[in-house]
Chains A and B, each alone.
Chain A
Amino acid sequence: EVQLVESGGGLVQPGGSLRLSCSASGFTFSSYAMHWVRQAPGKGLEYVSAISSNGGSTYYADSVKGRFTISRDNSKNTLYLQMSSLRAEDTAVYYCVIHIAAAGIYWGQGTLVTVSS
């Protein structure tokens, strides 16, 4: 069974930093691209970032480019999102997502990031 468990969320001041983690199990982690999606309170789903299976290729939404860094450790089956220069508008639930072709799209339960002074 595919399982994704996010951690690392919390309250941070504007301009601060936070690192999110996503622990994966139930599939061959090193074979798949991984994604981060977020949802601000009362808003729709926003795609944030992606990383290829070997970490060699990354994608960032314009809203986070230059401030967020996605990475992965295939030996630990873990995905990361390093967030810096955080703004109030980054307040959201952050989800770790994987698309396994012909099987489905799987989401974690999410971790809440609140940027506030």
Chain B
Amino acid sequence: DIQMTQSPSSVSASVGDRVTITCRASQGISSWLAWYQQKPGKAPKLLIYAASSLQSGVPSRFSGSGSGTDFTLTISSLQPEDFATYYCQQANSSPLTFGGGTKVEIK
């Protein structure tokens, strides 16, 4: 199984800050990586697919980059509605494993 290591596990930031979350795969996954945002009591919401493809309706302050084993999710200017937990998931092969999550908290 492919292991996904996500960091940091939590980050405290202020509105307007730039936030970067990284995800590393234990083996190459090409660009088969997704990023999700999850708020309490809700299903995960797909933000980015195929490493850098922004999903319809997702604000452009979210961006993704990377390929192979190293990936990044960037929020360019944090907004109040962005405080949530973020997960990466590899979609290269089953099982579609997840990172451990990053909780973005208000500073």
Name A residues whose Cβ lies closer than 8 Å to a Cβ of B.
33, 35, 37, 44-47, 50, 59, 61, 95, 97, 99, 101-102, 104-110
Task: Report chain B residues within 8 Å CB of A47.
Answer: 95-98
Name B residues whose Cβ lies closer than 8 Å to a Cβ of A.
34, 43-44, 46, 49-50, 55, 87, 89, 91, 94-98, 100-101
A35-B96, A37-B98 known, 12 other contacts, Cβ within 8 Å: A44-B98, A44-B100, A47-B96, A50-B94, A61-B95, A104-B34, A104-B46, A104-B55, A105-B34, A105-B49, A105-B96, A109-B43
Task: Report chain A residues within 8 Å CB of B55.
Answer: 104
Task: Report chain A residues within 8 Å CB of B46.
Answer: 104-107
- B44 near A33 (CB under 8 angstroms)? no
Task: Report chain B residues within 8 Å CB of A102.
Answer: 50
Q: From the candidates B87, B89, B95, name the one contacting A59 in the complex (CB within 8 A).
A: B95
- B96 near A99 (CB under 8 angstroms)? yes
Q: From the candidates A46, A99, A108, name the one contacting B43 in the complex (CB within 8 A).
A: A108
Q: How far is the CA of A65 from the CA of B102 in the complex (A)?
A: 28
Q: How far is the CA of A42 from the CA of B82 in the complex (A)?
A: 19
- A107 near B44 (CB under 8 angstroms)? yes
Given A95-B43, A104-B46: A44 in contact with B96 (beta carbons within 8 A): no
- A110 near B43 (CB under 8 angstroms)? yes
Interface centre among A45, A97, A99, A110 (most CB of B within 10 A): A45
Task: Name the distance in Å between B93's Cβ and chain A's nearest Cβ.
Answer: 10
